[in-house]
Amino acid sequence: MAKALDLEEQEQLDQIKHFWKKYGNLISWVLIVILGAYAAWNGYQYWQRDQAAKAAVLFDEVERSASAGDLARVQRSLADIKDKYAGTLFAHQASLLAAKFLSAQGKTAEAQAALKWVVGAAPEPAYRDIARLRLSALLLDAGSLDDALAQLAQPMVPSLMGLASDLKGDILSAKDQKPEALAAYKKAWDELSDIPDYRRLVEAKLNALGVDPQANSPSGNVK
């Protein structure tokens, strides 16, 4: 019985050796690729967390500097976070925050540049569209009406469509295009049904142009 078992085991060993001789290199390379990919994925995840943590520190610096009214520190911190951590959401949040501060400080060109950077580089559509809205508003204030309209030419994320239509109405009003402005305001009034306070503001603009949106609204007097 022992000899029979020994022969059976030897036969199994011979089969394993034959299999490994035939497929061993392939299996080894497959394992190397799998383990290498796993290690790379873990490394990438660690790198992303590390980048986000460092970017968060610089975002806090931008926020504190803006609160303190320190223009130089805001400019320096914004440049740092864009240079070192451009791929993080914190960098785009910092640019949006800095643009608001820079605009209030009269640094319109810098504010526009910060917003244009978000429009061109933001990984999240919502951040991109917020930047487009703010940039359009700055261009409107600067009298660059066609450029302001161009920022609103592409579709917005649903939550910002009403704001975009309202702003479009403002730009068209500034261009003395009353029929187009009315159409934009009516569209905004419809899209802002879930934001009654803002909707009342749009309604006031329509009333100023001689239109009562409630008159043709199926919702009656609901505001």
pLDDT at 183: 95
Indicate whether this model's pTM tops 0.85. no
Q: Is the same domain home to 193 and 157? A: yes
Asked if residue 134 is part of any domain, the answer here is no
Q: Which amino acid, residue 155?
A: P
First CA to last CA distance, the chain: 94
Q: Is the same domain home to 195 and 160? A: yes
pLDDT at 134: 94
Q: Is the same domain home to 74 and 119? A: yes
| Domains in the chain, number | 2
Asked if residue 64 is part of any domain, the answer here is yes
pLDDT at 49: 67
Asked if residue 20 is part of any domain, the answer here is no
Asked if residue 68 is part of any domain, the answer here is yes
DSSP at 8: H
Q: Is the same domain home to 105 and 148? A: no
Asked if residue 219 is part of any domain, the answer here is no
At which of 123, 155, 184 does a domain end?
123
At which of 123, 155, 188 does a domain end?
123
Q: How far is the C-alpha of 61 from the C-alpha of 67, rounded, in Å?
A: 10
Asked if residue 27 is part of any domain, the answer here is no
Question: Which structural domain range is residue 174 located in?
Answer: 144-211
pLDDT at 31: 57
Per-residue pLDDT of the chain (223 residues; tens, 9 = 90+): 445 546 666 666 666 666 666 666 666 565 555 555 554 444 435 545 666 788 888 889 999 999 999 999 999 999 999 999 988 888 999 999 999 999 999 999 999 999 999 999 888 899 899 999 999 999 999 999 999 999 999 889 999 999 999 999 999 999 999 999 999 999 999 999 888 888 999 999 999 888 888 876 544 443 3
Asked if residue 190 is part of any domain, the answer here is yes
Asked if residue 137 is part of any domain, the answer here is no
Cβ pair 59, 90 in contact under 8 A: yes
Q: How far is the C-alpha of 76 from the C-alpha of 91, rounded, in Å?
A: 13
